[in-house]
Amino acid sequence: MSYTVLIIEDELSLQSIVAAYFKKSDYSVITASDGLEGLEKFRLNNIDIVCCDVMMPNINGWNVVKSIRQTSNIPIIMMTALDSEKDQLYGFDLEVDDYITKPFSPAVLVAKVNNILKRLSNTKIDKIINSYKLGNFEIQFDARLIKINDKEIHLSKTEFDLLEFMIKNKGIVLDRVTILDEVWGMDVYVEERVVDTNIKVLRKKLEDYGKYIKTVFGIGYKYEDET
């Protein structure tokens, strides 16, 4: 499978070198020379991962991340000369997936991207096989069947849909609006706190396995197990 990487970098010599390394590793590469162009390329193309500089004309990298995160959980790696702990922590507060400081090895950047996409690919496999098992916790999505210690657990339709959506996107932070759209539907008006109520009930019904539904303060939730 060929992945598409969007490289947003205003230093054209570095942009060219990084692009060449990705192409050598069989990636499709799309480039942009500033934040504004980068957001436009992101909107117009099917991108799998973004590698983004911070200090750029028109729109800086932080604002690019903020804009992308309004609509997408796509992996983002920052590549920048800003090497202070404060800058790196700020990047992770914006939910970037990794942070690499200049000067860096393009080969290491490609390796980081490979690892991130491999983990995401493993999550997509769960969607295809339509089942999930962790210890004594087992779900058959087609049959809408959940068992813990061989005992069937009864969930409402909404609770099951919510759990299925989170597990099939495990490791990904899901904001409340996204959860509402996917589980309740965009044409149904439901207040965001309904998500919190259903999560609370779901955690209780899942007993010890409810701990894998993690709260991400100020954003929403994610399902993260030990695998």
Tokens of 185: 């539907």
Tokens of 112: 């980081």
Higher per-residue confidence, 84 vs 22 = 22
Q: Provide the residue ranges of all domains of the chain, joining segments of one domain with +.
A: 4-124, 130-223
The values of phi and psi at residue 171, to 5°, are: 85, -5
Architecture of domain 4-124: 3-Layer(aba) Sandwich (3.40)
Which of 102, 73, 74 lies closest to 88 in space, CA to CA?
102
Residue 52 near residue 38, CB atoms below 8 Å: yes
Residue 187, pLDDT score: 57
Q: Residue 71 — very low, low, confident or very high, per pLDDT cuts 50/70/90?
A: confident
Give per-residue pLDDT as tens, 160-211: 999 999 998 888 888 888 888 888 875 556 677 899 999 999 999 999 999 9
Give per-residue pLDDT as tens, 54-66: 999 889 999 999 9
Amino acid at 126: D
**CATH fit for domain 130-223, picks 2.70.70.10, 1.10.10.10, 2.130.10.10, 2.60.40.2380:** 1.10.10.10
Q: Is the pLDDT of residue 218 over 80?
A: yes
